Structure 1
Amino acid sequence: MPHTTAPPVLYTFDDSSKLQNSLANFILKAQTDAINHRGTFTIALSGGSLPNQLKPLAEMEGVAWDKWQVFFADERIVPLDHPESNYAACAKAFLDHVPLKREQIHTLNTALFTDFTKTNPTDEPKDADEAENEAIEIADDYEQQLVHTFAGANSARYPTFDLILLGMGPDGHTCSLFPGHPLLAESTRWVAEILDSPKPPARRITLTFPVLNHAFRCAFVATGEGKQDTLATILDKPEEGLPCSRVRPISPGLVFWFTDKAAAGKVVYPQTEYKWIQQERINESEDPIGAERRKMKAEMDAAVEAANA
């Protein structure tokens, strides 16, 4: 059966409070579906403005924090308490305010840092070869953390995240996948290093498109009038190939956009009304992922029947 992708789902909200609370509800829905099917919830977080959008999660009832495994969609090669650290931003916004154990949060292995990185992480490295080798080792270690978490869950070639939360840069980049960069063509590695990020700091690691596009759900958050032109290009002109447009999970995966009216001001792409799901009402019949699962099963059953006829 050929792999297919579904078109993005665009949700637009009147204000930040409605967006944030709906996003928290969406995350809870994804969590419940994942735990019902596999007993655990795997999520990848991004940095930028996204962490502050997650604050309502800390107050939400029904979150099974003990079932979460948290990764980062990309990370800067800096100490975990550094202002540029995505982990630090997420910790300040909500991770430090919820009952997650430290071993449930998968960060860079700082034991692999050189002394230079520990003290001058955003400076240009004095030894380029050492800096490159360090970044490769850190990326490989993070990939092994993914292998350890996802091994045995399925036999897929790539890990299947239950949810990856993403941001959108003004140039259309997401994670640390930038327009025109060679990493856009990476097809085998789960985690790759980047040494020349056009947005500082230059050295980072990032999930690759094969991982993004094997997730059950990817959800972008974009707010503010400054995102109008780029968002319109991503949704209305995907053929231009901006990195955000390339996030199209294969079936049964889906991609969602949570935006405010300011960001979506120039978008022609059709909007969908977000349907709030109460915890006690969450089930497959109300979940697009569940519907896709049932559709795939029906197609597979029909194919088997036809083969045996």
Structure 2
Amino acid sequence: MSVLGGDKDKELRIHESLDELGTDLADYIAELSETSVKERGVFALAISGGSLIGLMGKLCEAPYNKTVDWAKWYIFWADERVVAKNHADSNYKLAKDGLFSKVPIVHSHVHSINDSVSAEEAANEYEFAIRQLVKSRVISVSDISDCPKFDLILLGMGSDGHIASLFPNHPVLDEKNEWVTFITDSPKPPPERITFTLPVINSASNVAVVVTGDSKADAVHLAIDDVGPDCPLVPARIVQPTKGKLVWFLDKPAASKLDGFQFSD
């Protein structure tokens, strides 16, 4: 693994292989979990879908399956498709099948959306549930806004630079008042989704963006490098935690167009 552009608020971790990335990601999550449980008694984690779940798979293996304090985990979704929980497009199903059914997480600590209502209602209900858990201190609250402060938000990124369900040039990028909002016109199917807003993502104690593959290399470049004003502004570039730490987990193909990055033989 190599580290580029590390400053106190942002770190780039570039990995030789997906296996190395998966191990590093599991170490990172396990360490944050341990720290959070020691400090707060709980670990509030929000995740997205896609290939991210598979890359978290090493958490189901030794030593993590035995050493992580799974009973203290509270799981949320940074975005979700408004489909039935058993639907192939469901981020909940993806995470349950690939991860949470394999480790001893408390079922009542897994907070999925209501899949039997409209996208707008689902977003409103999800925000209400999060507000209740902020009141009970399961989720911290930002000391510079009223936003929830998740211990960790884990995100993937699309080849268009979208994160969660915040797509380029979409009006929800400008949403400042809601914690959870909805869209009915996703450029990628399915069209109806709920998503955390940027203020919530940027209020987290830690944000990790996990990206692999050369199809994402251009978007990684636009999200991270100092690009000119004529370049498109991708949503991933606006992920800048206000007081938290941002870590990018990349494989070499995803990092291949970063300024200053060279493949080593």
Between the aligned partners of 1:138 and 1:231, the Cα distance in structure 2 is 31
Q: Does the CA-based 8 Å contact 2:222-2:233 persist in structure 1?
A: no
Q: Which residue of 1 aligns with 2:250?
A: 259
User: What amino acid maps onto 1:241 in structure 2?
Assistant: L
Question: Which structure: greater helix fraction?
Answer: 1
Question: What are the residue-to-residue correspondences of 1:225-264 with 2, within 5 Å?
Answer: 225-237=214-226, 240-251=232-243, 253-264=244-255
User: What amino acid maps onto 1:82 in structure 2?
Assistant: H
User: What amino acid maps onto 2:172 in structure 1?
Assistant: L
Instruction: Note closer, same or farther for the CA distance 1:155–1:173 as it changes in structure 2 (3 Å cut).
Output: closer
Q: Which residue of 2 aligns with 1:96?
A: 101
Q: Which residue of 2 aligns with 1:82?
A: 87
Query: Which TM-score applies when normalising by structure 2?
Result: 0.88
Between the aligned partners of 1:18 and 1:256, the Cα distance in structure 2 is 16
Runs of 4+ in 1 over 6 A off after TM superposition: none
Question: 1:266: how far off?
Answer: 1.1
Task: Tell me if 1:70 matches 2:75.
Answer: yes
Higher RCO (C-alpha under 8 Å, 6+ residues apart): 1
Question: 1:254: how far off?
Answer: 1.0
Q: Does the CA-based 8 Å contact 1:6-1:250 persist in structure 2?
A: no
Question: Which structure: greater strand fraction?
Answer: 2
Question: 1:136: how far off?
Answer: 1.2
Between the aligned partners of 1:270 and 1:145, the Cα distance in structure 2 is 43
Between the aligned partners of 2:69 and 2:236, the Cα distance in structure 1 is 30
Between the aligned partners of 2:223 and 2:51, the Cα distance in structure 1 is 19
Question: 1:105: how far off?
Answer: 0.6
Q: Does the CA-based 8 Å contact 1:235-1:269 persist in structure 2?
A: no
Secondary structure at the counterpart of residue 263 of structure 1: helix
Question: What are the residue-to-residue correspondences of 1:101-116 with 2, within 5 Å?
Answer: 101-110=106-115, 112-113=116-117
Q: Where does the alignment leave 5 or more consecutive residues of structure 1 unmatched?
A: 114-133, 272-309
Question: 1:152: how far off?
Answer: 4.1
Question: 1:101: how far off?
Answer: 2.0
Q: Does the CA-based 8 Å contact 2:141-2:149 persist in structure 1?
A: no
Q: Which residue of 1 aligns with 2:185?
A: 196
Q: Where does the alignment leave 5 or more consecutive residues of structure 2 unmatched?
A: 1-6
Secondary structure at the counterpart of residue 155 of structure 2: strand
Task: Tell me if 1:176 matches 2:172.
Answer: no
Q: Which residue of 1 aligns with 2:39?
A: 37
Between the aligned partners of 1:259 and 1:269, the Cα distance in structure 2 is 15
Q: Does the CA-based 8 Å contact 1:214-1:250 persist in structure 2?
A: yes
Between the aligned partners of 2:48 and 2:182, the Cα distance in structure 1 is 16
Q: Does the CA-based 8 Å contact 2:141-2:148 persist in structure 1?
A: no
Question: What are the residue-to-residue correspondences of 1:1-309 with 2, within 5 Å?
Answer: 7-59=9-61, 60=64, 61-110=66-115, 112-113=116-117, 134-153=118-137, 156=142, 157-237=146-226, 240-251=232-243, 253-268=244-259
Question: 1:33: how far off?
Answer: 1.4
CA deviation profile, 1:215-267 (whole Å, cap 9, x unmatched): 0000011111111111111111466431001010111x011100111110111
Question: 1:6: how far off?
Answer: 5.6
* Greater mean deviation of Cα atoms: 54-63 or 242-251: 54-63
Query: Which TM-score applies when normalising by structure 1?
Result: 0.76
Q: Does the CA-based 8 Å contact 1:190-1:210 persist in structure 2?
A: yes
Secondary structure at the counterpart of residue 192 of structure 1: strand
Secondary structure at the counterpart of residue 89 of structure 2: coil
Question: 1:8: how far off?
Answer: 2.4
Secondary structure at the counterpart of residue 70 of structure 1: strand
Q: How many pairs are equivalent?
A: 245
